[in-house]
């Protein structure tokens, strides 16, 4: 579950994977012509089985080729809309009734989408032998009741508010064909779904070069405006920028570094928009480290860091300072910004802790934004008497730090975690049970754990918003976390198309239109 493939660690980390760069030769033109839309993806697909998906491209393709009861709307607000469901309603905190749109057909001659397919798809995550990697999303499912061919009821064991935010409209809300899956070896698949029932179907895949989708005429949901979509995996952002400016792709995400240049001199044939994802760039401080076990040292570090300098230097003045791990517009967002830099206050804390002259290490992925940010932090901490050693890593070594350095060997680290629009997705990785797994701060609090689980079950949004703000305050009070930014995703496209994007920039391919 990452940007370019490998595993959930890099989904949370969002780091680049070793996927071969598609060769774009001078003069080659892939961009939209007629009924074909050409888009750039940050990497190739890994697996489009929703129980085992890995990366952003997997997510885009699943969104296109599988039905879901609901899907996120395109636009700037996180809202869902009916997709394969004709209706859906929550009768009570444990009960959700739905009715499918009739006439939606599976490929491969497997007939019509029915409630039996919904039941199979959601209850599949309860199969311990299958051991789906995303089974936690459906951990509170009791069963799906089938009323008739099109209507059914989802029964939960306990209330689960995020069901509407990172389950039903997200990857694990994908519906698979029961009859086709029962014939699949081991009950799962990777790149070739045994049947597809979404707006598009996969018709061609050349690893590292191209994935082709063609419209599925027997889908009962929104009808695609483009009959064919070509997805080109281009891992290098500079190559993607060159491709869209040369007219070789119709739509792509570009790096933040090019945004000031594009804003100053945007080519007449292109449009630019910044999409805001709930992703977090943050720094963790490990309280289990002997060098950081005194909370005063951690507090001093947080006070000393010049976040505005990091935003200017690493994010080109385009990104805004985070108010916490919840981005603007989402439940639990804190309107009040964090305290400004306080070097004198930081020095007093360091002196009180007797920590002047201490040497600590900051581990980071070898990404340019992180390395720039790390150098700024290094200079900031020198002002208060802390010597910071920067250790940069490629993805594999970074995500192995716990095993290589151990609980007390990690001091500080930069992280980038991708996320759907619900804080519970992030806080689940910061629980006591995750210490040493995802929780590298060894932040362990029964009060935090209990409130996390209570917030999962709170369906009153006013009450839940306060719970989410209280969770953030607990993280702040620990002095183990510095929330830096939710960096925008710059999207660029040819003016002869009208893209349809979710608030985070992910495409709704079936809604793309010709301008």
Range(s) of the chain covered by CATH 3.40.190.10? 8-253+490-514
Whether 126 contacts 136, CB under 8 Å: no
Which burial class, exposed, middle or buried, applies to 426 when counting CB atoms under 10 A from its CB (0-12, 13-18, 19+)?
A: buried
Instruction: Report CA 419 to chain centroid distance, whole Å.
Output: 3
pLDDT digits (tens, 9 = 90+) for 65-124: 999 999 999 999 999 999 999 999 999 999 999 999 999 999 999 999 999 999 999 999
> pLDDT at position 22, please?
38
> pLDDT at position 419, please?
87
Q: Which CATH number fits domain 280-485: 3.40.50.620, 3.30.750.24, 3.10.105.10, 3.20.20.150?
A: 3.10.105.10
CATH class of 8-253+490-514: alpha beta
Place of tokens 């305050």: 473
Gap between the Cα atoms of 187 and 193, Å rounded: 11
Q: Is 354 left (phi over 0), alpha (psi -120 to 50) or beta?
A: left
Gap between the Cα atoms of 493 and 211, Å rounded: 19
What is the three-state SS of 150-164?
Answer: CEEEEEECCCCCCHH
Cβ-based neighbour number of residue 445 at 10 Å: 16
> pLDDT at position 462, please?
97
- Name 261's Cβ contacts closer than 8 Å, sequence gap at least 6: none
> pLDDT at position 241, please?
95
- Name 432's Cβ contacts closer than 8 Å, sequence gap at least 6: 439, 443, 444, 445, 446, 448, 449
pLDDT by position in tens, the chain (length 515)? 444 433 444 445 443 333 333 344 433 444 556 799 999 999 999 999 999 998 899 999 999 999 999 999 999 999 999 999 999 999 999 999 999 999 999 999 999 999 999 999 999 999 999 999 889 899 999 999 999 999 999 999 999 999 999 999 999 999 999 999 999 999 999 999 999 999 999 999 999 999 999 999 999 999 999 999 999 999 988 999 999 999 999 999 999 999 999 999 999 999 999 999 999 999 999 999 999 999 999 999 999 999 999 999 999 999 999 999 999 999 999 999 999 999 999 999 999 999 999 999 999 999 889 999 999 999 999 999 999 999 999 988 999 999 999 999 999 999 999 888 999 999 999 999 999 999 999 999 999 999 999 999 999 999 999 999 999 999 999 999 999 999 999 999 999 999 999 999 999 999 999 99
Gap between the Cα atoms of 480 and 291, Å rounded: 13
H/E stretch holding 446: helix 446-457
pLDDT digits (tens, 9 = 90+) for 407-457: 999 999 999 998 889 999 999 999 999 999 999 999 999 999 999 999 999
Whether 344 contacts 303, CB under 8 Å: no
């Amino acid at each position: 579950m990452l940007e370019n493939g490998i595993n959930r660690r890099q989904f949370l980390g969002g780091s680049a994977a070793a996927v071969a760069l598609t060769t774009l030769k001078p003069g080659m033109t892939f961009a939209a012509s007629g009924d074909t839309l050409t888009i750039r993806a940050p990497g190739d697909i890994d697996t489009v089985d929703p129980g085992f998906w890995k990366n952003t491209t997997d997510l885009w393709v699943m969104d296109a080729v599988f039905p879901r009861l609901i899907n996120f709307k395109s636009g700037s607000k996180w809202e869902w809309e009916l997709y394969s469901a004709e209706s859906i309603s929550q009768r009570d905190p444990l009960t959700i009734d739905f009715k499918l749109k009739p006439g939606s057909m599976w490929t491969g001659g497997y007939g019509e989408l029915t409630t039996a397919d919904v039941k199979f798809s959601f209850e599949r995550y309860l199969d311990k032998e299958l051991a789906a990697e995303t089974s936690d999303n459906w951990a509170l499912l009791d069963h799906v009741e089938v009323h008739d061919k099109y209507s059914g009821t989802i029964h939960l064991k306990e209330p689960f508010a995020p069901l509407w935010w990172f389950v039903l409209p997200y990857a694990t809300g994908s519906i698979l064909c029961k009859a086709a899956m029962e014939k699949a070896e081991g009950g799962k698949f990777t790149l070739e779904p045994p049947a597809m029932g979404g707006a598009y179907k996969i018709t061609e895949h050349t690893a590292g070069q191209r994935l082709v989708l063609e419209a599925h005429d027997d889908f009962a949901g929104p009808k695609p405006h483009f009959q064919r979509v070509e997805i080109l995996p281009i891992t290098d952002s500079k190559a993607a920028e060159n491709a869209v400016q040369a007219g070789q792709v119709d739509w792509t995400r570009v790096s933040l570094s090019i945004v000031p240049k594009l804003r100053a001199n945007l080519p007449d044939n292109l449009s630019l928009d910044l999409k805001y994802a709930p992703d977090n760039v943050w720094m963790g401080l490990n309280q289990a480290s002997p060098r950081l076990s005194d909370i005063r040292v951690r507090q001093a570090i947080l006070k000393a860091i010049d976040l505005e300098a990091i935003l200017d230097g690493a994010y080109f003045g385009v990104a805004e300072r985070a108010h916490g791990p919840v981005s603007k517009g989402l439940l639990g967002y804190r309107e009040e910004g964090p305290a400004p830099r306080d070097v004198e206050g930081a020095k007093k804390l360091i002196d009180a802790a007797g920590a002047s002259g201490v040497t600590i290490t900051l581990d980071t992925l070898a990404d340019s934004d992180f390395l720039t940010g790390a150098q700024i932090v290094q200079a900031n901490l020198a002002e208060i008497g802390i010597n910071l050693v920067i250790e940069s890593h490629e993805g594999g070594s970074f995500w192995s730090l716990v095993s290589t350095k151990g609980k007390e060997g990690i001091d500080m680290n930069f992280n980038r975690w991708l996320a759907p629009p619900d804080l519970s997705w992030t806080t689940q990785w910061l629980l006591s049970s995750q210490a040493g797994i995802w929780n590298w701060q060894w932040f362990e609090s029964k009060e935090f754990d209990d409130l996390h689980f209570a917030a999962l079950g709170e369906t009153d949004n006013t009450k839940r918003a306060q719970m989410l703000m209280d969770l953030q305050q607990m993280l702040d009070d620990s002095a183990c976390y510095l929330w830096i930014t939710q960096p925008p995703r710059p999207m660029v496209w040819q003016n002869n198309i009208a893209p349809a994007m979710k608030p985070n920039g992910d495409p709704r391919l079936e809604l793309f239109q010709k301008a």
